[in-house]
Amino acid sequence: MALPNDVEACEKDLQRVSDSQHSDAPENYDTAAVRALVWKQDLRIIPLTAGIYLLCFLDRSNIGNAKTLNANAGESLLQEANMTNYQYTIALMVFLVAYAVFEVPSNYFLKKLKPSRWIAFLMFGWGACTIGLGGANNYATVTAVRFLLAVARLEKEGSKGDAPSLNWETAEATLLDGRLWVHYIIYFGISAPFSSLSLFTPTITAGLGYENLQAQLMTVPPYAVAYVVSIVTAWSSDYFNARALHSAVLATIGAIGFLASALLPAESFHARYGCLIVAASGAFSCIPPLLGWLSNNMHSTAAAGLAIALNVSWGAPGQIVGVWIYKANEKERGYPTGHWTNFGMLVMVAVGCVGLRFYYQWRNKRLQRLGPDATGMDREFSY
């Protein structure tokens, strides 16, 4: 199977084009070659990474389906493992603790050991843990396996094996860069709706009057709509180079969906189901532009690898918030705590995106007015 070699070949091609872009000779820049390279990456890398991420998401979130499936026959996860709702939440949380702790080391080893080797190792370990989860029959085993489970958020910016490795000077500058912490806070905000919808959508639909297999099937429309909106949003934000505004608009739409869910009467099942679709579309769709926005504003691959890892790690505490807010004892009331919390988080995301966009716009105007020597910036920021 030639995919790893293809990926590494693309990395080397990308590095050569990057070197020519940053050289002192503008005539070395070949627009046609860049377009050809991007198309080559799209064909060879994107399908592979998209497939890996799909499997990762399925493995990470299907515990939410297992919680409610076959409950009437006494064969749900909670019943088979003799777990309480509180213990189930703990099992969800420990995965996110490991997610935060290991993200930065993972991106470090990604550069040291080559992507083809490190990703293969992660995939193998992840598959082994998933098999182990299938055989878990008590709370302790479920919790231990969830802690050990394959985080696959390995961004392409952190995978350029020929680029310089991270050193302390670059790490210090990245850690002390205040604007990046705004990115991390924004990602913290979006992570609570992301994780709560990923893990509790079957529970939420069960609270809308659906049961067992029907509750599982009713999770499909929110994800289907969110999928289409996410693709359109990702394309549009790249085409117009306006990632901040796209994320702000989608976060606002998601916030409106959660707000309506919180305000509607608990028995308004159909209306609240429509709100769930709106909320999921907004919450999921604003994430791709946020990730692209951060990586576009990193000026070296070593710094990008660290910043992206820190960004995802900061998302883990937000996801921990998400696992606690849909409380089992609020089912009859329509889970108001979860909806209100996600509403507040998405409002914070929208405000943060708009504020950071105006900051980048101000920095760019200052660069144009004073020049790079006076501002310490060698290129403009994307917003």
Q: Is residue 318 part of a domain?
A: yes
Cα distance between residue 17 and residue 23, in whole Å? 10
Contact of 354 with 252, CB cutoff 8 Å: no
Percent of the chain with pLDDT over 90: 26
Contact of 293 with 243, CB cutoff 8 Å: yes
- pLDDT per residue as tens digits for the range 305-341: 788 888 988 888 888 898 889 888 888 888 999 999 9
Per mean pLDDT, which of 12-16, 31-35, 160-164, 220-224 is the most reliable? Answer: 220-224
Distances (CA, A) of 233 to 32, 186, 240, 241: 26, 18, 11, 11
On the question of pLDDT at 37 being above 90, the answer is no
Looking up tokens 């799909």, which residue turns up? 54
- Ranges assigned E (strand) in 110-197: none
Chain center to CA of 101: 16
Q: Is residue 285 part of a domain?
A: yes
State which residues form the domain around 132. 45-159+175-375
Indicate the pLDDT class of residue 25, thresholds 50, 70 and 90.
very low
Helices (H) and strands (E) in the chain, counts: 17, 0
CATH code of the domain covering residue 71: 1.20.1250.20
Percent of the chain with pLDDT over 70: 74
- Residue with the larger pLDDT of the pair 10 and 254: 254
Contact of 41 with 14, CB cutoff 8 Å: yes
Cα distance between residue 153 and residue 54, in whole Å? 11
26 phi and psi angles, rounded to 5 deg: -60, -25
Half-sphere CA count of 294, side-chain side, radius 13 A: 30
- How much is the pLDDT for 379? 77
321: amino acid identity, one letter: V
Q: Is residue 40 part of a domain?
A: no
- How much is the pLDDT for 121? 78
On the question of pLDDT at 29 being above 80, the answer is no
- pLDDT per residue as tens digits for the range 39-49: 887 888 788 87
* pTM > 0.85: yes or no: no
Looking up tokens 């590095």, which residue turns up? 15
Number of domains in the chain: 1
331, with CB counted inside 10 A (0-12, 13-18, 19+), is middle
Q: Is residue 22 part of a domain?
A: no
On the question of pLDDT at 231 being above 50, the answer is yes
Q: Is residue 192 part of a domain?
A: yes
Q: Is residue 30 part of a domain?
A: no
Average pLDDT, the chain: 78
Cα distance between residue 232 and residue 279, in whole Å? 16
- How much is the pLDDT for 356? 96
- pLDDT per residue as tens digits for the range 235-273: 999 889 899 999 999 999 999 999 999 999 988 888 888
Q: Is residue 83 part of a domain?
A: yes
- How much is the pLDDT for 74? 66
Per mean pLDDT, which of 3-17, 37-51, 204-218, 236-250 is the most reliable? Answer: 236-250
Q: Is residue 286 part of a domain?
A: yes
